[in-house]
Amino acid sequence: MPAKGRGLPKLDLSCVCCPPRRSVLKGLAAIGVAAFAPAMPAIAQAPKPRRIDVHHHFTPPAYAELGKKGTAADAWSVEKTLADMDQAGITTAIHSNAGTDLGGGEKARRLARAANEFAAKLEQDHKGRFGSFATLPMPDIDGSLAEIAYALDTLKADGFYFWTSYAGKYLGDPAFNPIYEELNRRKAVIFVHPVRSACCSNVDSGVAPAAIEYGTDTTRAISKMLFAGTAHKYPDMKVIWSHGGGTMPFLIERFLFEMRQPKQQKAVPEGFVAAVSKFYYDTAQATEKIPMTGLKMLVPMTQIVFGSDFPYRTSLEHVKGLKEDGVFNAAELAQIDWQNAARLLPRWA
């Protein structure tokens, strides 16, 4: 029997074997069914993965007139890209073009505009799934300045897609100062992708040129951006370098030796490591333990962002690579997956 004074309802116990149904129901309601029910363990719901992919290519329909066939970029479709994203938990992909030479002149301006408007339409048709790094008709300065204004003010692009070099001049070259000045004024994000340099495209190294030259080409552009004084002069440009920074982390000793020269100290007054630590680096085709360890040792965790290089590679293999290489803990993987990109591109926060 319950102790007196506990506030429990008085049940009719005149017939213990078959108490009146109404009395029992009243008593249970007053006491609360939970008091009689066994405790049920809480079922934890696993949080949905969240990833922002900053290195994700697309191929606008207008590029068909360029006549290139048989590459992964030519086989691109919105259905394939969404399927790849869903398989890997990619919430948002920031589209950039497939690295195609637009041909220069008015043709380049027209194709750049077509690519950017197509990217904006994809974003509208698939809310929350796509952003874009707009294409510019580089090295056309006037055409690029006009497209910067249109892409940011009208299309609301997330930033801009650049190659490492144009017409033999690497990004960072003073010839492109009007572009840097405008990007710096707008505090714009720029994503830099390598190309096969004219100097080395015919070297027979036994592998596809991109296997070696892409990483090397990125390093050349990083070097030019720093030692031409461009990064120091235009500090509000936010630069993402592809493929973990190419070979730059592995050449750090040589760059530090280069910094002993007075002219290089003048160009990079904050020092080489401090300067490269202000840049961002994506993980595309760089998720093995050795490159990720080197990059993590060189730059802060806040500067590493997720990239897949779709459709040339899959998003899922990059997710698995980052988890399996053992370099990053869970909190650091969250930074790479989305937190760093969300800080860099606030509308996706």
pLDDT tens digits along 245-262? 999 999 999 999 999 999
Q: Which has more pLDDT, 181 or 14?
A: 181
Q: Taking a C-beta distance cutoff of 8 angstroms, is the pair 214, 243 a contact?
A: yes
Report the pLDDT value the prediction gives residue 88, as an integer from 0 to 100: 97
Angle at 13 between CA 8 and CA 19, to 5 degrees: 110
Report the pLDDT value the prediction gives residue 193, as an integer from 0 to 100: 96
Question: 52-348 architecture in CATH?
Answer: Alpha-Beta Barrel (3.20)
Instruction: Select from 86, 90, 95, 25 the least CA-distant residue to 59.
Output: 95
pLDDT digits (tens, 9 = 90+) for 55-72: 999 999 998 888 766 577
- Residue 102, pLDDT > 70, answer yes
Report the pLDDT value the prediction gives residue 46, as an integer from 0 to 100: 47
Report the pLDDT value the prediction gives residue 69, as an integer from 0 to 100: 62
Kindly give the residue spans of alpha helices, DSSP state H, lying in the chain: 21-31, 78-88, 105-125, 141-153, 177-185, 209-227, 230-233, 252-258, 262-267, 272-276, 289-298, 315-324, 330-334, 340-344
Rounded distance, CA 160 to CA 206, Å?
34
Strands 52-58 and 280-282: what pairing?
unpaired
Residue 200 pLDDT class (50, 70, 90 cuts): confident
pLDDT digits (tens, 9 = 90+) for 227-242: 999 999 999 999 999 9
Instruction: Select from 280, 274, 330 the least CA-distant residue to 307.
Output: 280
pLDDT digits (tens, 9 = 90+) for 150-160: 999 999 999 99
Report the pLDDT value the prediction gives residue 49, as an integer from 0 to 100: 65
pLDDT digits (tens, 9 = 90+) for 5-34: 444 444 343 433 444 444 444 443 443 434
Residue 209 pLDDT class (50, 70, 90 cuts): confident
Tally of residues, the chain: 349
Report the pLDDT value the prediction gives residue 210, as an integer from 0 to 100: 78
Preceding omega of 300 cis (within 30 degrees of 0)? no
Please enumerate in sequence order all residues whose Cβ is within 8 A of that of 86, keeping only pairs 6 or more positions apart, or say none.
none
- Residue 44, pLDDT > 50, answer no
- Residue 337, pLDDT > 90, answer yes
Q: Taking a C-beta distance cutoff of 8 angstroms, is the pair 70, 98 a contact?
A: no
Query: Helix, strand or coil for residue 190?
Result: strand
pLDDT digits (tens, 9 = 90+) for 139-151: 999 999 999 999 9
Q: Work out the widest C-alpha separation in the chain, in whole angstroms.
A: 103
Task: Name the burial class of residue 340, with classes exposed (0-12), middle (13-18) and buried (19+) by CB atoms within 10 angstroms of its CB.
Answer: buried
Q: Which whole number is the average pLDDT over 179-189?
A: 98
Report the pLDDT value the prediction gives residue 292, as an integer from 0 to 100: 98
Task: Name the burial class of residue 168, with classes exposed (0-12), middle (13-18) and buried (19+) by CB atoms within 10 angstroms of its CB.
Answer: exposed
